[in-house]
Amino acid sequence: MKKLLKNMPLLAFVLAAASALAFNVPGDIQGEYGSENGTEWYDVSPATVLEGVDYQCNEVQVESHCTYSQPSDTSTPIGENDREQFELLNEDLDPIEP
């Protein structure tokens, strides 16, 4: 019994660590897509390309969004600025199939 009580802090630590890993679910990695004309879409996810090098978001006067969560202008816009327009800078970037 003394041996069990002596190892109780270690057992509690192991149980806490296992619980933390078991209930910590990683979030979905969200893609980002942009299009200059609404027909050719480009994957501009941060892991794929760099903003300012491969594309940029320019401020415009009309309501427009630069990037979206899916390759469709009816999908959820990403970012809070609703007056930006997508501009492709890297002509070597291949469009994706929507």
Total domain count for the chain? Answer: 1
Q: Is residue 14 part of a domain?
A: no
Q: Residue 29: which pLDDT band, with cuts at 50, 70 and 90?
A: low
Q: Is residue 22 part of a domain?
A: no
Bridge partners of residue 56, in order along the sequence = 87
Q: Is residue 52 part of a domain?
A: yes
Torsion 12-17-18-23 (CA) sign: positive
Q: What is the tens place of the pLDDT at every residue in 41-70?
A: 999 988 888 888 999 999 999 988 999 999
Q: Is residue 11 part of a domain?
A: no
pLDDT mean over 4-21? 73
Write out the residue range of the structural domain in which residue 42 sits.
27-98
Q: Is residue 97 part of a domain?
A: yes
Q: Residue 4: which pLDDT band, with cuts at 50, 70 and 90?
A: low
Is pTM beyond 0.75? Reply is: no
* Amino acid (1-letter code) at residue 42: Y
Q: Is residue 20 part of a domain?
A: no
Q: Is residue 5 part of a domain?
A: no
